[in-house]
Structure 1
């Protein structure tokens, strides 16, 4: 099979963070092979790289089994659309990014209708944190697994699934491009003596809805201790409209910035209050002391307690196997507790130093020491299409 022929590669993301990963991978693939049609599903970043997205992804950005059930009819329909397209276009490969529930359904549907299409899972399901049986299921569904973290491939290789540690491009990008904190403060007229708190209430609408009130109340309590405090809210594109009213009513005269400015915002901030997620590791990369808070619906929480096998929610704490970053999850997501922890970081040099001192080793463990993450991922994809 000629390596110079035109390729059709499906790239499928249904989460904002997966959209960024997909866009970076597409860019790397184009650098290695200039005759590729990209089709599938994705957001603005992937569309900007040339993806023909077959359906909007917003309905699939959900948390937990209850929300997943609500999204199931749309997921079934979307999977059929992908499968039909794979069969019609004779797609060489389909890369399903993150979102295990959707990827599982789509892979089964595509396999039936387009059996020659190579199925590649990008971002391994977190079998080390919950539901370890997914490793065996993945080996039955996919031809290859692209893993973000060095410790993950062994979970899948023992079932015979070809697995490659590619690293996390977003984390490496942030590590390699330190934020300009001084410039950020100057741009927004914030003096070096003014406490600046970065506030990250989530990238999903359901997260913002559940966290906006405990976050607002926490900020009110923190502002009583630091009346001159400013806040900066980093807005993911799909929740930007929800966050605008917060900029008008929350304490700290909030500045709302787009995702592109988050490097500088994190570097400028004295501390952060964040929803649990990828952003916690990004804050650690920028050496920003952080407090994590999170809350889900009661049914989702009941399900999570039954399946999760790790003590912590944040990857930084999971990697450390201890609570480096304070976590206030579910019933502990209370403004008084959250505020006290943030005040501690803003006022206690020892508390700040403890986090900042722990971050470098943990960041290296999570990002790797090398570069070219997406080049490694692109090579793994092309190796599946053209085996050596």
Structure 2
């Protein structure tokens, strides 16, 4: 080829930034200097050579009302992203996760650059809500890189070519995580019960869930004085989590990103906000209780569109509620205290849940090839097919 391949990567959240960085590394491993990158992303993608024209933190939006409030910002950033595509004329555009933002970008790029192949990396969870989005996506992009085998039929039925690449969350390397060392460093006895609280990765999640967890922890600690509590304060929401923790009456061990997998392996039970973290906890062998709350009006608007039985991926894969899910009105301090307390007090129940979580991970594709490598192969295949 007369010039290096130019791939545009677009991510609007930290999780997408990590996927974009992995894809960039895999493409560079295959092509070396024969590939360059442009696009929108965060620090991880920047480290791989993707210089973003704006800070993606302002696009971390959840819920319909929150989306309406941020509509002006989203509209401007869509325009900025499309302008970048027009200026750079990439050989392909990969739009990573973040449905609300990337579907707008896809439709706008299609209008101005109709011949550039558009690839969506992570489809919307149509099995859980708004199945009509499968048809919308099929009309907007050329190819989907799906995370799980159960995703593919929804989109293939609408005529969208789909490659199942697997989830990076199933390939987390926890070999270096030492739970015994974590406990020793924090002065937590080897047999002491340890509750890990993971309040979420978005500001709205922190504000809505942390007070609930705080009240649940108070109840659990009052009934079990020997209970130790650790709270994840990692990432861009660390300061917000610490602000919330300042109001807790129970002392906690604050845990940063570097210690995350060690504390997951060390935990007796986890109490976590729904998200990718549930898969990581399952990989670590930690039984958990999952929770989620939306802003009430957002939930009222969104509730009719929820069609899935479960919010947690391994529950969906197994088609059973392996980990208890406490959503919206069910996500009360009393309910968390009861469910977590049951697991803390019953070693057999903990062992059974951990084993069923592990089996469900196998259904999700654990043990396959590196998803970034499969994604890179698929991107190159789509470019060759379009140019051929």
What is the alpha-carbon distance in structure 2 between the residues aligned to residue 177 and residue 300 of structure 1?
A: 40
What is the alpha-carbon distance in structure 1 between the residues aligned to residue 311 and residue 229 of structure 2?
A: 24
Q: Which runs of 4+ in 1 moved over 6 A?
A: none
Instruction: Note the C-alpha offset of 1:152.
Output: 1.7
Q: Deviations over 1:13-61 (max 9, x none)?
A: 1122212211111111111122333222222222222220111112221
Of 192, 197, 206, the residue aligned with 2:195 is: 197
8 A Cα contact 2:234 2:255, kept in partner: no
Alignment of 1:11-22 (within 5 A): 11-22=9-20
Alignment of 1:362-381 (within 5 A): 362-381=360-379
Of 303, 306, 330, the residue aligned with 1:305 is: 303
Determine the structure 1 residue equivalent to 2:118.
119
Instruction: Note the C-alpha offset of 1:204.
Output: 0.2
DSSP-derived class of the 2:65 partner: helix
Give ranges in structure 2 of 5+ residues lacking alignment.
none
Of 190, 215, 218, the residue aligned with 1:217 is: 215
Instruction: Note the C-alpha offset of 1:300.
Output: 1.6
Determine the structure 1 residue equivalent to 2:106.
107
Determine the structure 2 residue equivalent to 1:333.
331
DSSP-derived class of the 1:323 partner: coil
Alignment of 1:144-293 (within 5 A): 144-174=143-173, 177=175, 179-293=177-291
Give ranges in structure 1 of 5+ residues lacking alignment.
none
8 A Cα contact 1:21 1:170, kept in partner: no
**Alignment size in residue pairs:** 385
8 A Cα contact 2:318 2:363, kept in partner: no
TM-score norm. by structure 2 comes to 0.94
Instruction: Note the C-alpha offset of 1:120.
Output: 0.7
What is the alpha-carbon distance in structure 2 between the residues aligned to residue 344 and residue 142 of structure 1?
A: 47
8 A Cα contact 1:230 1:252, kept in partner: no
Determine the structure 2 residue equivalent to 1:6.
4
Of 368, 376, 382, the residue aligned with 2:380 is: 382
DSSP-derived class of the 1:23 partner: helix
8 A Cα contact 1:84 1:113, kept in partner: no
Determine the structure 2 residue equivalent to 1:27.
25
Instruction: Note the C-alpha offset of 1:310.
Output: 1.3
Determine the structure 1 residue equivalent to 2:73.
74
What is the alpha-carbon distance in structure 1 between the residues aligned to residue 284 and residue 42 of structure 2?
A: 26
Instruction: Note the C-alpha offset of 1:246.
Output: 4.4
Determine the structure 1 residue equivalent to 2:351.
353
Q: Deviations over 1:284-315 (max 9, x none)?
A: 11110101111111122112320011122211
Instruction: Note the C-alpha offset of 1:252.
Output: 4.8
Q: Deviations over 1:61-83 (max 9, x none)?
A: 12221111122211111111111
Two-structure CA RMSD over aligned residues (Å): 1.7
Alignment of 1:55-66 (within 5 A): 55-66=54-65
DSSP-derived class of the 1:386 partner: helix
8 A Cα contact 1:228 1:252, kept in partner: no
DSSP-derived class of the 1:21 partner: helix
DSSP-derived class of the 2:9 partner: strand
What is the alpha-carbon distance in structure 2 between the residues aligned to residue 236 and residue 9 of structure 1?
A: 31
Instruction: Note the C-alpha offset of 1:118.
Output: 1.7
Instruction: Note the C-alpha offset of 1:336.
Output: 1.0
Instruction: Note the C-alpha offset of 1:247.
Output: 4.8
Instruction: Note the C-alpha offset of 1:127.
Output: 1.4
Determine the structure 1 residue equivalent to 2:51.
52
8 A Cα contact 1:203 1:235, kept in partner: no
DSSP-derived class of the 1:37 partner: strand
8 A Cα contact 1:172 1:367, kept in partner: no
What is the alpha-carbon distance in structure 2 between the residues aligned to residue 337 and residue 220 of structure 1?
A: 13
DSSP-derived class of the 1:231 partner: strand
DSSP-derived class of the 2:272 partner: strand
Q: Deviations over 1:303-329 (max 9, x none)?
A: 232001112221122222221111111
Q: Deviations over 1:261-287 (max 9, x none)?
A: 211110011110101111112111111
Tell me which moved more, 59-68 or 177-186: 177-186
DSSP-derived class of the 1:83 partner: helix
